[in-house]
Amino acid sequence: MYSALWRVLPGPWWVRVLILLVLLAVILYALVTWAFPYADSFIDSPEVTVGSS
């Protein structure tokens, strides 16, 4: 799969690396912005108090 992606990308190797870094940044931004908050709404976090008597 990765070799097929590498062959599809245009340009020399340094342009391909730059494109992959930009794609990685976009994917991480989308996960942090939309996917993780959406998944967090389904996770019930317990109330934890540290040091209470």
CA distance 38 to 14: 35
pLDDT score at 33: 96
Q: What residues contact residue 10 under an 8 Å CB cut-off, 6+ apart?
A: 16
pLDDT in tens, 8-22: 999 999 999 999 999
pTM: 0.70
Task: Give the pLDDT confidence score for residue 49 in this predicted structure.
Answer: 77
pLDDT of residue 52: 62
Residue for token digits 């245009």? 10
For 14, what's the count of Cα atoms within 13 Å in the CB-facing half-sphere? 0
pLDDT (tens digit, 9 = 90+) per residue, 13-47?
A: 999 999 999 999 999 999 999 999 999 888 887 87
